[in-house]
Amino acid sequence: VLGAQDRTSPDHRTRLDRLIRLYWKPVYWSLRSRWRKQHADALDLAQTFFAHLLEKDALAAVTPDKGRFRAWLRVVLDNFMRNELEAAKAQKRGGGLKPLSIDGEDDAPPVPDDSLTPDQAFDRAWAIHVFRQSVDDLRTLYHAEGRDAAFAWFERHELDPDPPSCAQMAEAAGRKPHEVENALKAARVAFAKILREKVTETVADPARVEEELRALAEAMG
């Protein structure tokens, strides 16, 4: 967050883009569930919302004493939507912000989960998105390092609802069980590092990283 705030920083735009990508889908999901918007309208409104943040330099108001960035973003989104509803037809959407590629239709629940409060739903969407991005980054990293088999073991053992044992995966790959076990340990460490880095990008106060990691685990259920 702090890196995205500093317009004089040489990597300001990169950090800003990464921050937007981390929160794009949670905002989209919130528009679908909390505000009952259809897919196309939610995409349009999410685009407008982030353009609004950039135009108003709203991130400059984020400070460590304001608490969690997610809580601040939810309040800003709610205020934005109330204003949007009052002047929806008069407001030109898009703001010149370069469109981002998202898979909203596939990932967003078609029916809002009424068992969650709006804040809980937003936090869960954030947690799932950060988790998925971390998995994707680990996949990319392992592929670049020629460790596709190790990632496949990690994916099956850690993410499959009915995971195979290390012995089963080793037998299928013609490897020793301890080789698979060691690869899994290394993959868990690499994944935890990636996840921590992503969460660190979302806090204004580095001291809150552990708190946010616990919040992510809680939101994931």
DSSP sequence for 180-205: HHHHHHHHHHHHHHHHHHHHHTT-SS
Give 105's contacts (C-beta < 8 A, 6+ positions apart): 39
Tens of pLDDT, residues 143-185:
999 999 999 999 999 999 999 999 999 999 999 999 999 999 9
The answer to pTM > 0.85 is no
Q: What is the pLDDT of residue 110?
A: 44
157's CB contacts (< 8 A; 6+ apart) are 163, 164, 166, 169, 184
Across residues 8-35, what is the average pLDDT? 80
44-101, pLDDT tens digit by residue? 999 999 988 877 777 776 666 556 788 889 989 999 999 888 876 555 555 445 555 5
Percent of the chain at pLDDT above 70? 77
Whole-number Å distance between alpha carbons of 98 and 76: 21
The CA distance from 34 to 151, in Å, is: 36
